[in-house]
Amino acid sequence: MKLSKMILGTLRDVQGETELESYKLMLRAGIIRKVASGVYNFMPIGKKVIENVNSLIKNEMEKMDSQEIEVAQFIPFELLNQCNNKESSFTDTFEIVDKNQKKFYVGADFKESYIEIIKNEIKSYKQLPVSIYSIQKRIKDETKPKFGIIKSKEFNELQCYIFYDDSLESGKYVNRLCEVFKDIYNKCGLDFIKTNSLKFFVKHPLGEEQVVCCEGCGYKEDLEIATCTLQEKEEDDMKPVNKISTPDTRTIDELASLFNTTPEYFVKTIIYKINSKIVAVMVRGDREVNETKVKSKIGHIVSFELADEEIVRYATSAEIGFAGPINLKCDTLLVDEEITRMRNFMVGANETGYHYECVNYERDFTGTVGDFKKITEKDRCPICGNSINIKNVMGLGEIINLETAYSEDMSAVFLDKLGKSKPMSIIKASINVDRLLALIAEQNHDENGIVWPKRVAPYEVIVIAAVFKNEEQMKTAENIYNKLRSMEIDVLLDDRDERAGVKFKDADLIGVPIRITVGKKISEGKVEFKLRNNGNVEDINIGDIEEKVLNGLHKN
């Protein structure tokens, strides 16, 4: 491609809409252009890069014999609704009604579409396992889009599904997908984290998710899933429950100050409205409720929110800040397992201005015991007991074993070796490709622009004629360009009537791995050769260009 014919659109500077360096660089490199909040156009350079990423992914998927399909963006309401008992809601999905008043969801998760395809095509265990995938647009009503294409309303996404007979070991399919994902991320030049729950992340200070890491044993887990080592059970004698006056003392910190102690001595009761039911969750005073774990315990979630003042007053007969488990009016009481190991703690008395002290689990109240807390860096690793640290991260992708839940809902069955009907087991894997692209740029850039890995870069080589009006330079540059094209190298020729400095700036911005500059030394039969990932400029003979390029691209 000749730059004189191309819409390049590089910018020397952009107004900071986000702290994310990759977003600014992608705007400056002419990769994306903003249409509206969370909506972006991909420009020619951007389209080239994303197609290269897609090609890389497709190559890896084909290695595991996964077949590419394309599913419809319009999903009939009745199809998506078949698995509604497993979904929280469709609040982030766009809906339309056509002229015949038929309701569709647009660009939603394609799970039901995949299952419907396989359900109609696969009838026997002899046809299993089978894997299908697609890379296409997802559309999501993201309420708070940010960080450019990292968190946007529409994005390209890889979705892969493996359908198999559960009489076989699922682990081998999961492991194969893990290896494929690792290969994709490594070839994209990413330093990534894989958690025990098969989620993939990159560390980033602005990340809205967190991962718990243990340097001792290598344990890594999503904060919303991670567990921690429980404290030793306290053996103090149980003291009689005592109601004490605590006027204008509603928060744990206020209580700790009043009694000159630490938040660990108290237990707080948080009240939720879940599926129109009142659910109270108890955690130690210094803890936060892990709402992901609560949702997992409840199961089918239609609605989930903190209770409003009216519900709190009904449940506690008190103002907000005095909730406790004794005589609490609720449908479900969830008690963090840590509380069952405590002795003589303080809770709200369900009476404005009062708390109970010397409260103990089982003697004074009971509930459903489980892990409902968020782990902190004060906790210990659940595997080896060493200290942990918590890192801010951004998500790359995940692998989920859905087992048979969805296939049972949709009657996706097959005949096993005995001729009996069985639901198919399903593994789902996904990668947000737009986010992947942005995170590649985030981890691979310098002060001059993006440093794309070779497999991802929009072009492999850029050839620059330093002086447009120098006929010998222009002719030589075009000869090199044509020669490299004949070698099936993706090459860009900067033949614009611009200063050499402008051309160098643009080459660095768009991140082409190899730059060949035809300048004044052409009279000696030499050109400049430079790799984008280092600052060294080397004078080489024209006759050595082919070998140098192939070595630079590791194609020899």
Q: What CATH number has the domain bearing residue 126?
A: 3.30.930.10
The length of the chain is 556
CATH number of the domain that 542 lies in? Answer: 3.40.50.800
What mean pLDDT is predicted for residues 522-536?
91
**What's the rounded Cα separation, in Å, for the pair 490 and 492?**
7
- Reduced to 3 states, what is the DSSP secondary structure of residue 319? coil
Residue 385 included in any domain: no
Least confident of 236-240, 403-407, 413-417: 403-407
Kindly state whether residues 213 and 278 are assigned to the same domain: no
pLDDT of res. 88? 42
Q: Do residues 527 and 413 both lie within one domain?
A: no
Give the whole-angstrom CA distance, residue 526 versus residue 543.
Answer: 9
pLDDT at residue 17, as a whole number: 64
On whether both 339 and 306 belong to a single domain, the answer is: yes
Is residue 556 scored above 80 in pLDDT? no
Residues 517-535 have a mean pLDDT of 91
Is residue 273 very low, low, confident or very high in pLDDT (cuts 50, 70, 90)?
very high
* pLDDT tens digit sequence for 115-130: 999 999 999 999 999 9
| Cα→Cα distances 28→9, 12, 22, 223, 351, Å | 8, 6, 10, 35, 60
pTM, to two decimals: 0.89
Residue 96 lies in a domain: yes
Residue 172: strand, helix, or coil: helix
Q: Determine, yes or no, domain membership for 17.
A: yes
Closest by CA position to 138, among listed 103, 111, 102, 101: 111
Residue 84: band (very low, low, confident or very high) from pLDDT cuts 50, 70, 90:
low
CB-based burial, 158-191: b 16+ in 10 Å, e otherwise: bbbbbbbbbeeebeebbebbeebbeebbebbbbe
Please state, in angstroms and as integers, the Cα–Cα distance from residue 313 to each residue in 291, 328, 329, 357, following that order. Answer: 22, 11, 10, 21
Query: 98, exposed or middle or buried, with CB in 10 Å at 0-12, 13-18, 19+?
Result: exposed
Long-range CB pairs of 10-18, under 8 A, 24+ apart, other chains included: 10/505, 10/506, 10/509, 10/510, 12/505, 17/148, 18/146, 18/147, 18/148
Same-domain pairing of 202 and 267: no
What per-residue confidence (pLDDT) applies to 469?
87
Between the CA of residue 162 and those of 92, 426, 550, what are the distances in Å?
26, 6, 38
Q: What is the pLDDT of residue 143?
A: 82
pLDDT at 465 over 70: yes
Q: For residue 138, what are the β-bridge partners?
A: 155
Q: Which amino acid is at 435?
A: R
**pLDDT at residue 9 in the model:** 83
Same domain as 427, residue 521: no
Is the predicted pLDDT of residue 200 greater than 80, yes or no?
A: yes
Query: Taking 70 as the threshold, does the pLDDT of residue 7 lie above it?
Result: yes
Residue 348, pLDDT > 80, answer yes
Q: Is the pLDDT of residue 363 over 60?
A: yes
* Torsion sign across C-alpha atoms 491, 495, 500, 505: negative
Q: Which residues contact 5 (CB under 8 A, 6 or more apart)?
A: none
Domain that holds residue 294: 242-370
User: How many domains, in total, are found in the chain?
Assistant: 3
Of 17-21, 172-176, 306-310, 424-428, which gets the smallest average pLDDT?
Answer: 17-21
Residues 170 and 368: their CA atoms lie apart, in Å, by 32
Across the chain, mean pLDDT equals 92
Q: What is the pLDDT of residues 13-47, one digit of tens each?
A: 887 666 788 899 999 999 999 999 999 999 999 99
Query: Are 41 and 154 in contact, with CB atoms under 8 Å apart?
Result: no
Percent of the chain with pLDDT over 70: 97
* C-alpha to C-alpha distance for 157 and 323, rounded to whole angstroms: 44
User: Residue 83 — very low, low, confident or very high, per pLDDT cuts 50/70/90?
Assistant: low
Asked if 402 and 367 count as a contact pair (C-beta separation under 8 A), the reply is no
Residues 109, 19, single domain; the answer is yes
Domain check: are 349 and 469 in the same one?
A: no
Residue 375 lies in a domain: no
Query: 3-state SS of 476-544?
Result: HHHHHHHHHHHCCCCEEEECCCCCHHHHHHHHHHHCCCEEEEECHHHHHCEEEEEECCCCCEEEEEHHH
**pLDDT band at residue 91, thresholds of 50, 70 and 90?**
low
- pLDDT bin (cut points 50, 70, 90) of residue 166 is confident
Same domain for 218 and 328?
no
List the one residue out of 459, 548, 455, 439 whose CA is nearest residue 509.
Answer: 459
CATH number (domain holding residue 290): 3.90.960.10
Is residue 499 over pLDDT 80?
yes
